[in-house]
Amino acid sequence: MTLPSHALSSPAMVDVAVIGGGPAGLMAAQRLAQSGLQVTVYDAMPSVGRKFLLAGRGGLNLTHSEPMASFVGRYGSQQAVVASWLQYFGAAEVQAWAKELGVETFVGTSGRVFPADMKAAPLLRAWLVTLRAAGVRFAMRHRWLGWDEAGAMRFAMPDGEIQVPARATVLALGGGSWARLGSDGAWVPLLQQAGIATVALEPANCGFDVRMLPAPGGETQPGWSPFFSSKFAGQPFKSVAIRFEGESGAVFARRGEFVATDTGVEGSLVYAVSALLREAVKTQGSATFLVDLLPDHSAERVLAEVRHPRGSRSLASHLKSRLGLEGIKAALLFEVLGKDGMQDAQRLAATIKAAPITVTATRPMDEAISTAGGVAFNALSHDLMCHARPGLFCAGEMLDWEAPTGGYLLTAALSSGVRAAQGAAHFLKG
């Protein structure tokens, strides 16, 4: 979303500098401008909203329509903090904001809320028109380098470095995933040097590498077998259910689908349980979740069908005709049980209802949809101002929270931008 050339110059002094042109930063800029403050948005990239646009390529999921009690529960250990933001700007406000921009929304069958045309670009274009009309200025290709000795912000530009003083600053620099789009985590040491506590960034909503045990007493193998990965990498496990019990006793049990990769698993169901899996891998070295390949069938029915006489048919033909098991689902059974285990009806039926997949590592952070960790909340006031640096506010994914996909990430990012803007306005007018 390229901005016109007149929006690319940086003023010598600003009321509020918003550093980062993602959803949290743009929302903070909009609210600050509405309160009558002069706002300039700085971003290292040539245009704003790049991750926002890419995330919406398959259909922009704005928020979710579920009741607030369930909605807030999606934020795990930080749900109390995020709930304090959502009281100012929650799911209903997200839909109202989109409508103000001329974008109608609808609720899908899963409860997720989308723009009527499913696209991110028209919404971002309308948003930028609104921001410019409110007086927000944009300074692109400005990479934030911290502060100089006088407290002015330092920016690297293509033709050199500049210093810009600001009365208040909102940092909305994103997490550490999708670095090519601007979220590279380079801000972490800059804040640490300023005495602002951070929690190490980690992948969230991420894929995992697997380790398989193909037969009782057999050797574990890293990744899928060569046959499985060559034939089924990129294919989905559809209409399945995952169950996993975390160390704290939290139980994840949900239906949906996920995808096999060359080295492991990814996709919506895996992303939803990724926080629990990641923590188990960190403390135990691995985590095993169970896949119900036929969640609509009882264990008793599955066993009866497996034991049904098959005559001269092969086992593969028998499983396909009696239970509809074929392709990647049948291949997973062989991957887990091996040739001999497939002949044991009791074990085969049990594995159909609870096939174990052991993961041993998250995929690299830059492959993740989002990140956990970031600026620690004990380093911030309730309105997201840094205790160590009055006048500096933080918002968005760079804060220490995480959420599953499904509209929860974007809603909380926007909401945190509103909260940081309220704090900055109060600080300047206080």
Domains of the chain by range and CATH? 5-203+367-429 (3.50.50.60), 208-362 (no CATH)
Instruction: Give the residue from 229, 334, 201, 210 showing the smallest Cα distance to 270.
Output: 210
CB atoms within 10 A of CB 6: 9
Residue 13 pLDDT? 73
Q: pTM of this prediction?
A: 0.90
Q: Which two tokens stand for residue 265?
A: 């698993």
Give mean pLDDT, residues 173-199. 95
Q: Which two tokens stand for residue 75?
A: 């934020």
pLDDT(354) > 50: yes
Question: Which amino acid appears at position 89 of this protein?
Answer: F
Residue 11 pLDDT? 55
pLDDT(420) > 70: yes
Interval 357-392: pLDDT, tens: 999 999 999 999 999 999 999 999 999 999 999 999
Residue 296 pLDDT? 97
pLDDT(215) > 60: no
Residue 2 pLDDT? 45
Q: Which two tokens stand for residue 287?
A: 């985590």
Least confident of 181-195, 206-220, 251-265, 319-333: 206-220
Torsion of Cα atoms, 259 then 397 then 54 then 209, to 10°:
-20
Question: Which amino acid appears at position 202 of this protein?
Answer: E
Residue 184 pLDDT? 93
DSSP letters for 150-205: TS-EEEEETTEEEEE-EEEEEE----SS-GGGT---THHHHHHHTT--EEEEEEES
Give mean pLDDT, residues 281-302. 97
Interval 128-168: pLDDT, tens: 999 999 999 999 999 999 999 999 999 999 999 999 999 99
CA 325 from chain centre, in angstroms, equals 32
